[in-house]
Structure 1
Amino acid sequence: MHPLDTDFWLGETDLWLLAEGRHMRPWEKLGAHPCVQNGSTGTAFAVWAPNARQVCVVGDFNHWDPAQHVMQHRGTAGVWEIFVPGVGDGALYKYSVLGEDGSRVLKTDPYALRTETGSGHACVVMQLPERVEPTPNQRARSQALTSPMSIYEVHVGSWQRPYGQLPDWNYLAEHLVPYVVEMGFTHIELMPINEHPFYGSWGYQPTGLYAPSARYGSPETFRDFIATAHAAGLMVLLDWVPAHFPSDADALGRFDGTALFEHADPREGFHRDWNTLIYNYGRNEVRNFLVGNALFWIERYGIDGLRVDAVASMLYRDYSRPEGEWVPNRDGGRENYEAIALLREVNQVVGVEAPGAISVAEESTAFAGVTAPPWNGGLGFHYKWNLGWMHDTLAYLALDPVHRAHHHNRITFSMMYAYSEHYVLPLSHDEVVHGKGSLYGKMHGDDWQKRANLRILYAFMYAHPGRKLLFMGGEWGQTQEWNHDAELQWGLLQNPSHAGIHQLVRDLNHLYRSHTALHARDDEPGGFSWIDAQDAAHSVYSFVRYGHTSAQQVVVVCNMTPVARHGYRLGVPQGGVWREILNTDANEYGGSGAGNCGEVSSVPVACHGYAHSVVLTLPPLGVLWLEPELPA
Structure 2
Amino acid sequence: MTQHKAATPPAISSDDAWALHEGRHLDPFAVLGPHHADGVRYVTCFDPGAERMMAMTESGSHPLERVVEGAAVFSGEVPGDGHYWLKGIANGSEWEFEDAFRFDTVIGELDEYLLGEGTHQRIWTVLGAHVLQHEGQYGTHFAVWAPNAQRVSVVGPFNHWDGRRHPMRRRGATGVWEIFVPNIGEGEAYKYEILGPDGTMQPLKSDPVGFGSQHPPENASIVRDISGYGWQDDAWMSERNGRNSRTAPISIYEVHLPSWRRRMEEGGRSLSYQEAAEELVSYVHDMGFTHIELLPISEFPFDGSWGYQPVGLFAPTIRHGKPHEFRNLVEAAHQKGIGLLLDWVPGHFPADPHGLGLFDGTHLYEHADPREGFHQDWNTLIYNYGRTEVSNFLVSNALYWLDEYHVDGLRVDAVASMLYRDYSRKEGEWVPNKDGGRENYEAIAMLQKANIAAYGDAPGIMTVAEESTSFPGVSRPVDAGGLGFGFKWNMGWMNDTLRYMGEEPIYRQYHHNQMTFGIHYAFTENFILPISHDEVVHGKGSMLGKMPGDEAEKFANLRAYYGFMWGHPGKKLLFMGCEFAQPQEWNHNAQLRWDLLDDPRHAGIQRLVRDLNTLYRATPALHALDCDPSGFQWIEGGDAQQSIFSWVRRSGGPDPDVAVICNMTPVERVDYRMGLPAEGRWREALNTDAGIYGGGDRGNMGAITASGDGYQGQPASSTLYLPPLSTQILIRDA
Secondary structure of 2:140's partner? strand
Shift of 1:130: 4.0
Query: 2:515: which partner in 1?
Result: 411
In the other structure, the counterpart of 2:730 is: 626
Residues 146, 177 of structure 2: 8 Å contact kept? yes
Partner of 2:146: 49
Deviates more, 1:231-240 or 1:86-95: 86-95
Which blocks of at least 5 consecutive residues in structure 2 are unaligned?
1-101
Q: Is the 8 A contact 1:578 1:600 kept in 2?
A: yes
Measured after TM superposition, the shift of residue 524 of structure 1 is: 1.6
Coordinate RMSD, CA, aligned? 1.3
Contact 2:226-2:323 at 8 Å conserved across structures: no
Determine if the alignment matches structure 1 residue 147 to structure 2 residue 259: no
Q: Which amino acid aligns with 1:157?
A: P
What is the distance in 2 between the residues matched to 1:487 and 1:611? 52
Q: Which residue of the partner structure matches residue 126 of structure 1? A: 224
SS in 2 for 1:216: coil
Give SS of 1:388's match: helix
The C-alpha deviation readout for 1:427-455, integer Å capped at 9, x for no partner, is 00000111111011111111111111111
SS in 2 for 1:359: strand
Which residue pairs with 1:374 in the alignment?
478
Aligned to 2:129: 32
Aligned mate of 2:384, from 248, 268, 280: 280
> Do 1:98 and 1:105's aligned partners in 2 also have CA atoms closer than 8 Å?
no
AA in 2 matched with 1:506: R
How high is the sequence identity, in percent, across the aligned residues?
A: 56
Tell me if structure 1 keeps the 8 A contact 2:621–2:655: no
Shift of 1:577: 0.9
Pairing 1:244–2:244 present:
no
Cα pair 1:173 1:225 within 8 Å, conserved: yes
User: What does residue range 442-453 of structure 1 map to in structure 2 within 5 Å?
Assistant: 442-453=546-557
The worse-fitting range, judged by mean Cα deviation, of 10-19 and 182-191 is 10-19
**1:226 Cα offset (Å):** 0.7
Paired AA for residue 82 in structure 1: I
Secondary structure class of the residue paired with 1:236: strand
Distance 1:398 1:426, change over 3 A: same
Change (3 A) 1:30 1:413: same
Matches within 5 A, 1:253-272: 253-272=357-376
State the 1:378 CA deviation.
0.3
Higher RCO, Cα 8 Å, sep 6+: 1
1:140 partner amino acid:
N
The CA distance in 1 between the partners of 2:480 and 2:612, in whole Å, is 36
Which ranges in structure 1 are unaligned for 5 or more consecutive residues?
Answer: none
Match of 2:213 among 90, 107, 115: 115
For 1:360 and 1:130, how far apart are their aligned partners in 2?
30
Question: Do structure 1's residue 20 and structure 2's residue 117 form an aligned pair?
Answer: yes
| Partner residue of 2:604 out of 500, 507, 525 | 500
Could you tell me whether the CA contact under 8 Å between 1:149 and 1:467 is conserved in 2?
Answer: yes
**Is the Cα contact below 8 Å between 1:28 and 1:128 reproduced in 2?**
no
Query: In the alignment, what sits opposite 2:315?
Result: 211
Instruction: Name whichever of 146-155 and 442-451 sits farther off.
Output: 442-451
Aligned position for 1:170: 274
Shift of 1:44: 1.1
Deviation larger for 541-550 or 360-369:
541-550
Q: State the alpha-carbon separation in 2 of the partners of residues 6 and 15 from structure 1.
A: 18
User: Tell me, what secondary structure is at the counterpart of 1:107?
Assistant: coil
Equivalent position of 2:689 in the other structure: 585
Distance 1:86 1:494 in 2: 55
1:136-194 C-alpha deviation (Å, 9 max, x unpaired): 43210110110000000000000001122111111111211000000000000000011
Whole-Å separation in 1 of the counterparts to 2:675 and 2:132: 72
Q: Which amino acid aligns with 2:394?
A: L
Cα offset for 1:120? 2.3
Are the structure 2 counterparts of residues 252 and 447 from structure 1 closer, same or farther at C-alpha, using a change threshold of 3 Å? Answer: same
Instruction: Find 2:703's aligned residue among 592, 599, 620.
Output: 599
CA distance in structure 1 between the partners assigned to 2:642 and 2:389 by the alignment: 59
- Is residue 674 of structure 2 the alignment partner of residue 576 of structure 1? no
Equivalent of 1:422, from 526, 529, 534? 526
* 503-512 or 167-176: bigger deviation: 167-176
Q: Distance in 2 between matches of 1:136 and 1:118?
A: 34
Q: CA, structure 1 residues 28+471, in 2 after alignment: closer, same or farther (shift >3 Å)?
A: same
Contact 1:572–1:612 (CA under 8 A) maintained in structure 2: yes
8 Å Cα contact 1:191-1:238 kept in structure 2 = yes
Contact 2:668 2:722 in 1 (8 A): yes
Return the alpha-carbon distance in structure 1 between the equivalents of residues 592 and 218 of structure 2: 30
Deviates more, 1:148-157 or 1:548-557: 548-557
The letter for the 1-side match of 2:393 is F
Contact kept? 2:156, 2:190, Cα under 8 Å = yes
Matched, 1:546 2:650: yes
Q: Deviations over 1:343-369 (max 9, x none)?
A: 000000011110001100000000000
Change (3 A) 1:545 1:14: same
2:189 aligned partner, one-letter code: L
Structure 2 counterpart of 1:72: 169
SS in 2 for 1:214: coil
**What is the alpha-carbon distance in structure 1 between the residues aligned to residue 138 and residue 255 of structure 2?**
41
Secondary structure, counterpart of 2:678 in structure 1: coil
Distance 1:523 1:228 in 2: 30
The answer to whether structure 1 residue 397 and structure 2 residue 397 are counterparts is: no
Q: Which residue of 2 aligns with 1:62?
A: 159
The whole-number CA distance in structure 1 between the counterparts of 2:388 and 2:730 is: 55
CA distance in 2: counterparts of 1:129 and 1:115, whole angstroms: 17
Which aligned pairs between 1:464-479 and structure 2 lie closer than 5 A?
464-479=568-583
Aligned positions of 1:351-366 closer than 5 A:
351-366=455-470
Deviates more, 1:548-557 or 1:334-343: 548-557
Indicate conservation of the 8 Å contact 1:18/1:288, yes or no.
no
Match of 2:191 among 94, 108, 111: 94
CA contact (8 A) 1:437 1:481 kept: yes
Matched, 1:157 2:258: yes
Q: CA deviation at 1:40?
A: 2.1
Q: How does 1:303-342 map to 2 (within 5 A)?
A: 303-342=407-446
Task: Tell me, in whole angstroms, the C-alpha distance in 1 between the residues paired with 2:338 and 2:485.
Answer: 21
The range that moved more, 144-153 or 127-136, is 127-136
Code of the aligned partner of 1:88: G
Query: 2: CA distance between counterparts of 1:611 and 1:81?
Result: 74
Kindly tell me: are residues 551 and 195 of structure 1, through their superposed partners in 2, closer, same or farther at Cα, counting changes over 3 Å? Answer: closer
Report Cα offsets for 1:267-301 as digits up to 9, x if no partner.
00000110000000011111111101001011111
In the alignment, the residues of structure 2 paired with residue 469 and residue 445 of structure 1 have an alpha-carbon distance, to the nearest angstrom, of 25
> What do residues 482-507 of structure 1 show as CA deviations (whole Å, max 9, x unaligned)?
00000001111111111111110000
In 1: Cα distance, 2:654 partner to 2:217 partner: 62
CA contact (8 A) 2:630 2:652 kept: no
Name the SS for the 2:435 alignment partner.
coil
1:480 partnered with 2:581:
no
TM-score normalised over the length of structure 2: 0.84
Indicate the residue corresponding to 2:24 in structure 1: none
User: 1:38-73: per-residue Cα shift (whole Å, max 9, x none)?
Assistant: 222211111111111111111111111111001111
Q: How far does residue 33 in structure 1 lie from its aligned partner after superposition?
A: 1.1
What residue in structure 1 maps to residue 44 of structure 2?
none
* Residue pair 1:192, 1:203 contacting (<8 A) in 2 also: yes
- Structure 1 residue 264: Cα displacement: 0.4
**Secondary structure at 2:712's aligned position in 1?**
coil
**What number of residue pairs does the alignment pair up?**
626
Shift of 1:417: 0.4
Task: Answer whether contact 1:571 1:608 (CA < 8 A) is retained.
Answer: yes
Shift of 1:118: 4.5
Aligned AA (1:100):
P
Aligned pairs for 1:514-533 within 5 A: 514-533=618-637
Pick which of 184-193 and 32-41 moved more: 32-41
Contact 1:555-1:572 within 8 A present in 2 as well: yes
The code of the aligned residue for 2:132 comes to C
For the Cα contact (< 8 Å) 2:187–2:224, is it kept in 1?
A: yes
